[in-house]
Homo-oligomer: A and B are copies of this chain.
Amino acid sequence: MTERHLTQDKLEIISNKVVGDRFYRLTVRSHSWAKTARPGQFAHIRVGTGLEPLLRRPISIHGLDDRDAVAFLYQAKGAGTAALAAMRAGEAVDAIGPAGNGFTVDARYKRTILVGGGIGVAPLMFLAQAYRAKGTAVTVLLGARSKDCLTCLADFKSLGCQVTVTTDDGSEGHRGYVTDILEQQISAGPGPVAVFACGPTVMMRRAATIAALYDVHCEVSLEERMACGIGACLGCAVMTTAGYRRVCADGPVFSAEEVVWIG
């Protein structure tokens, strides 16, 4: 038990809207979450009230809209996120959190590079907010299938981030993988620089390799299936250099060097 603040709350929904192809942005009112949440942490959310779907769903904190409003960005994938998408303003979301450890936010870094793939962009906005608040330069490299979440682009830009988009098919921004331009970005300015990645495993692994090559600090936010979301069940274990560790309680953010990449 760390000294983290973690509670179970009914968070009142301010809004819950489509912001892209099956992407939703949910905002809830909670002064205490807004005050205690750190970038990279997540909420473990009860979707629906019945026994099917049964388990809670982990959703990263996307950012703070203001000191009372916490935002989430999620993609409607299956029954659980569909149930969440059906919720309306005024209703309350049953959430446990802020859960997990969060990214390092350290003013020592002159520049940060945020690498996001698909819905992996979700926690990076909050991280960008935190670094921009410290005056750190933030470069965002977004990989997307096509135009997953255009509102995110505008949000990053209005924070003063430099944003580069890549798509697999070239339908938007550069054609190719988001990691293709990471090397160039690392060497494009002064240090110390840190890389933060969230997205598909192959993307994070590639980012980790490049960061290691340049001896740059790199953190990745891992995903694993969860049951408790709070460290009790050992269901979300991932292999690290220190043995199995829990994504929900020891992560979701891990130093890239710690991760034993599988597959």
Contacts and interface: CB of A to CB of B under 8 A. Distances in A.
Q: How large is the interface on A (under 10, 10 to 19, 20 to 34, 35 or more residues)?
A: under 10
A188 to B, nearest CB: 51
Contacts of A50: 50, 52, 79
* Number of copies of this protein chain within its complex: 2
A242 interface: no
Interface string A49-87: 011100000000000000000000000000100000000
**Chain A interface main SS type:** loop
A36 to B, nearest CB: 35
A52 B83 CA distance: 14
A3 to B, nearest CB: 39
A48 B44 CA distance: 25
A81 to B, nearest CB: 14
Contacts of A51: 52
A53 to B, nearest CB: 9
A51 B50 CA distance: 11
A52 B50 CA distance: 8
A79 B50 CA distance: 9
A50 B79 CA distance: 9
A140 to B, nearest CB: 38
A51 B51 CA distance: 10
Nearest to A52: B52
A50 B51 CA distance: 11
A79 B52 CA distance: 13
Q: Considering the complex of A and B, which 5 residue pairs feature the smallest CB-CB distances, nearest first?
A: A52-B52, A50-B52, A51-B52, A50-B79, A50-B50
Interface of A: 50-52, 79
5 contacts: A50-B50, A50-B52, A50-B79, A51-B52, A52-B52
